[in-house]
Structure formats: C-alpha cells, structure tokens
C-alpha cells in the first residue's frame, strides 16, 4: 500500500482564537479588589431610657455632618476633614502615659492580672446566681463579660508587663449624620477614624512584635492562626475602636 | 517568520489573567460611583468563603424614573431594582433578601448570620439616611456585620 501523507491541521488561526479569549477576559475582569470599612451593628435590645448609663462628656468624641456636608467635631467646625484623624489621635493619646484630668479627653485605667482574676471570679459567681434563677439573658451577658476578662488576662500575659493601661470603657467615637448627608462624607468620617486607629495600632504592634497590625490582620484573615489572634486581641484591647453610628432622625 | 509558538504565548497570558483577576460583580442595575477612601479592609477572603453579600444603592438607569424613588436613589438586590413610591424600606425588602441569601449558602459555611457581611455599595452622593434604613433592616434580622464599600485611593497599602 502506498504511504499516505498524514493530513496536517492548520493551526494558523489558533493565535487569533487565543487572542479573542484573552481580550474577553481583559474586558470582563477587574484587577481592583473590593475594599470597604467593615463595621458591626449593635444587637437590637430595648432598654428603658432611665436605665441607660451616664457617659461623661470627656469620653465622647462626636463627629457630626449636616445636610450641607459640613463636618463638626465636638461642636467645632472642621473645614479640612483631614484634621479629624489628628484629633482622634489626641483623643486616644492625651492620657495614655499619665492621666491628665484637666484635659477634656478620656482617662486611662490600669488592668493587672490580679484584677482580671478577681473580676473573673465575680462573673462566675454571677453566672451561677443567674442560672439558679433561670435568667438566661443575664447568664449570657455575664459569660460574655467573663470572656472579655479572660481575653484581657491573656493579653496582659502576652504584653509581658505586670499591668496594662487601657482607655476608659466608655470612651467612644460617635458618628452623627443627617438623612441627606452624602454617603461620601459618611465614608470619609470612617476613613479618618480608621486612619487614626490603624496608625496607633500599627505603631504599637511594630514596637511589640516587629510587624504592623495590618499585616498580622491580613495573615489572620487568610489562615486563622491562633497566635496571630492573640496579637490582634492585645492590640485591640490597647486601642479599641468603639464606634457608635447614630441613626438620623426624620 | 515562524509564529508557531504565538498561540502558546497568548494562552500563557490568558491563564495569567484568568488566575490574577476576579470577574466583575454582576452589572448592577443602578448607576453608582463609589467614594474614595484609604485604610480600607480587603474583602477578598470573605468573598472566597462566600461570607459576603453585595447590595447596590444608586441612581436608576432611566433618569425619568428617579422621582419614583425615595431621594431619587434606587436599591438593587441581585439585579432587581427594588422600590415603591414611598420608599421600599417599608416593605422589608432588604431583610427578606438577606434571609434568603443566608438560607441559600452552602452547608459547609459555618459563619452565623451575625458574621456574614452585607456590603453596601452606594453612590458617593447617595443620602446616608438610606444607608441607615438598610442598616436598620439588617439589625432586625440580626445580620450584624455591615461593610461600607469605597474605592481604595491606592496609597497606604497594607503595612506601610
């Protein structure tokens, strides 16, 4: 039998096909990642107004924006929004080393291992008491408090000092916008808060563990390492970001 | 000229793009341009674990219809524009949508509804009141994590 030529497939248009696919992907995909400020919403509970705790003025940092998108921090108009983060830094740092009661900023208290043990024992007793009466809500509340103290104890141990200075429990940043305030202003306020808090956290984390907080957090988000979690907990206890977003009135 | 290896090169490029990029979120049915911000959190890990849902708040595509919406802004949930003349927020659209979304999540997902993020992608001039309406509806069903989407300015990358 005569030897026949194997027919060759013409692959000349292969490149064209591949280019077409490539262009398709170039057009339909985005390189930029989704970026956002992640916040938690408080759980809905009804508290009668007379049971609300009193909050000292010095512990509140109110950032307000009106419908004309003007910003006000502690009743002072801020024409340059970039200055807000500096003010937040002052809010945290004024009493950080030594309490300065004469300044209108939150005071710091000292937590020690002994105090944590004491409070944890107290909470355990309270949980038992609540369980006896069958008050499950109260028991839940106390066990979350117990958790907090346990976290703090771990944090002090990791901190490596006998005590830890922490900002007043009630110190918080309050965002008050109006219904018509532009979303861009609302996110800008979050931006300023984040700038200040992350700067504080990064500096502290670098000083203690040699790497910035954001890096540890990123790693934790990817591989949930327990050691990273402890570091994050400590830094978040040192510089808590307590933000209250006030629902605008109609 | 020998162009036999050209397809290989192009395929290589193609695979690079397929791996390095994420595909666009479904085209929202509203017009929106995100505000800029820095020091943001990257949502990619949450997306990989499908612990996040997106909703869009922007101007309706047809400008003549703007007057039909509260403040002229419409909400898009999975490409369906939601609105009633007096504001969709009376109809609990967001809480129902979020509930459904959560019930449809794969069984391997362990995050409770409190931790599943709802990412609000709002237009930069959208009124914050609408964002708070959404927030309120999420609070009602205990979906307690919200994310305010912004475009990253590009400065201040992680760690620096």
Q: Which one of B3, B37, B47 makes the best mutation probe of the A interface by having the most chain A beta carbons within 10 Å? A: B37
Q: Is B21's Cβ below 8 Å from some Cβ in A?
A: yes
Backbone angles phi, psi at B11, to 5 degrees: -60, -40
Q: Which residue in A35, A43, A212 is closest to B151 by CB distance?
A: A35
Compute the average pLDDT of residues A201-208.
93
- The residue that leads in pLDDT, A163 or A211, is A211
Beta bridge partner(s), residue A73: A63, A76
pLDDT digits 0-9 by tens, A186-203 = 999 999 999 999 999 999
Q: Is A183's Cβ below 8 Å from some Cβ in B?
A: yes
**Is residue B144 a contact partner of residue B135, using CB atoms and an 8 Å limit?**
no
pLDDT digits 0-9 by tens, B53-69 = 999 988 888 877 777 77
Beta pairing, strands A163-167 & A172-177 = unpaired
Closest-CA residue in chain B for A223? Answer: B45
Closest-CA residue in chain B for A195? Answer: B39
Q: Is A6's Cβ below 8 Å from some Cβ in B?
A: no
Q: Which residue in A31, A33, A65 is closest to B42 by CB distance?
A: A33
For residue A11, the model assigns a pLDDT of 76
- Percent of all residues in chain A with a pLDDT value above 70, rounded to a whole number: 97
What is the DSSP code string of B7-22? HHHHHHHHHHHHHH-E
Distance from CA of B60 to the nearest CA of A (A): 17
Beta bridge partner(s), residue A37: B148
Backbone angles phi, psi at B2, to 5 degrees: -90, 115
Q: Is B45's Cβ below 8 Å from some Cβ in A?
A: yes
d(CA B145, CA A42): 9
Distance from CA of A38 to the nearest CA of B (A): 4
pLDDT digits 0-9 by tens, A101-128 = 888 899 998 888 888 888 888 888 888 8
């Amino acid at each position: 039998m005569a030897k026949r030529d194997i027919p060759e497939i013409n692959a000349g248009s292969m490149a064209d096909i591949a280019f077409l696919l490539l262009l398709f992907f170039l057009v339909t995909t985005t390189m930029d990642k989704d970026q956002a400020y992640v916040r938690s919403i408080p759980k809905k509970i009804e508290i009668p107004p007379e049971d609300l705790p009193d909050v000292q003025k010095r512990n509140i940092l109110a950032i307000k924006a009106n419908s004309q998108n003007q910003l006000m921090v502690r009743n002072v108009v801020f024409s340059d929004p970039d200055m807000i983060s500096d003010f937040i830094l002052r809010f945290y740092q004024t009493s950080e080393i030594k309490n300065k009661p004469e300044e209108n900023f939150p005071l710091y208290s000292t937590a020690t291992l002994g105090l944590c043990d004491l409070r944890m024992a107290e909470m355990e007793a309270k949980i038992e008491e609540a369980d006896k009466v069958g008050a499950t809500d109260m028991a839940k509340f106390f066990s979350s408090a117990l958790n907090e103290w346990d976290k703090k104890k771990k944090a002090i141990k990791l901190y490596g000092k006998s005590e830890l200075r922490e900002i007043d429990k009630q110190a918080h940043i309050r965002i008050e916008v109006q219904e018509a305030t532009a979303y861009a202003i609302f996110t800008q306020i979050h931006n300023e808060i984040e700038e200040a808090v992350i700067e504080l956290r990064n500096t502290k984390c670098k000083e203690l563990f040699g790497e910035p907080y954001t890096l540890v957090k990123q790693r934790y988000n990817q591989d949930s390492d327990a050691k990273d979690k402890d570091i994050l907990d400590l830094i978040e206890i040192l510089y808590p970001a307590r933000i209250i977003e006030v629902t605008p009135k109609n | 000229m020998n162009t036999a290896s050209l397809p290989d090169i192009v395929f290589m490029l193609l695979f690079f793009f397929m791996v390095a990029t994420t595909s666009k979120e479904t085209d929202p049915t509203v017009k929106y341009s995100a505000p800029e911000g820095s020091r943001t959190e990257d949502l990619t890990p949450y997306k990989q674990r499908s612990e996040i849902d997106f909703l869009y708040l922007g101007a309706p595509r047809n400008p003549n219809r703007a007057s039909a919406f509260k403040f002229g802004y419409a909400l898009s949930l999975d490409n369906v524009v939601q609105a009633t003349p007096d504001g969709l927020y009376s109809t609990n659209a967001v809480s129902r949508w979020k509930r459904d979304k959560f019930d449809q999540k794969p069984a391997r997902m362990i995050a409770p509804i409190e931790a599943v993020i709802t990412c609000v992608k709002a237009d930069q001039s959208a009124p914050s009141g609408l964002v708070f309406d959404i927030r309120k509806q999420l609070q009602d069903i205990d979906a307690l994590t919200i994310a305010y989407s912004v475009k990253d300015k590009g400065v201040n990358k992680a760690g620096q």
